[in-house]
């Protein structure tokens, strides 16, 4: 088995670097209380164990993405998606016991 080393000689241009850096930023359309990935990695980086009860079920992320694709220009919070699932389909996703603010 040979190792792929093609990436070692690759130099990204300024546009690629800007895109890579921008893609790692939190979504500016969302309130800081919705920055779940940042919360998770910040805790891992600092050596703390993140409170997994703070993170929404992955289904909610997929549902939110589908709704935002259908209703262009709309931005939904996880709490709105959680309530929608409960009201429309009687599916209860647990709400976080605590809210984090960045």
Q: Report pTM.
A: 0.69
Residues with Cβ within 8 Å of 19's Cβ and at least 6 positions away in sequence, in order, are: none
pLDDT in tens, 58-88: 999 999 999 999 999 999 999 999 999 999 9
Domain-by-domain residue ranges, the chain? 31-102
pLDDT at 1 over 80: no
pLDDT at 63: 96
pLDDT surpassing 70 at residue 28 = yes
Res. 102: pLDDT tops 60: no
Q: How confident is the model at residue 93 (pLDDT cuts 50, 70, 90)?
A: very high
SS (H, E, C) 39-91: HHHHHHHCCCCCCHHHCCCHHHHHHHHHHHHHCCCCCCCHHHHHHHHHHHHCC
């Amino acid at each position: 088995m040979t190792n792929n080393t093609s990436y070692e000689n690759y130099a990204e241009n300024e546009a690629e670097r800007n895109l890579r850096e921008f893609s790692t930023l939190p979504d500016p359309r969302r309130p800081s209380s919705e920055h779940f990935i940042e919360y998770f990695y910040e805790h891992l980086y600092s050596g703390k164990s993140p409170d997994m009860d703070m993170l929404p079920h992955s289904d909610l992320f997929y549902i939110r993405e589908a709704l935002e694709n259908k209703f262009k220009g709309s931005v939904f919070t996880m709490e709105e998606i959680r309530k929608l699932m409960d009201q429309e389909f009687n599916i209860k996703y647990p709400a976080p016991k605590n809210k984090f603010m960045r």
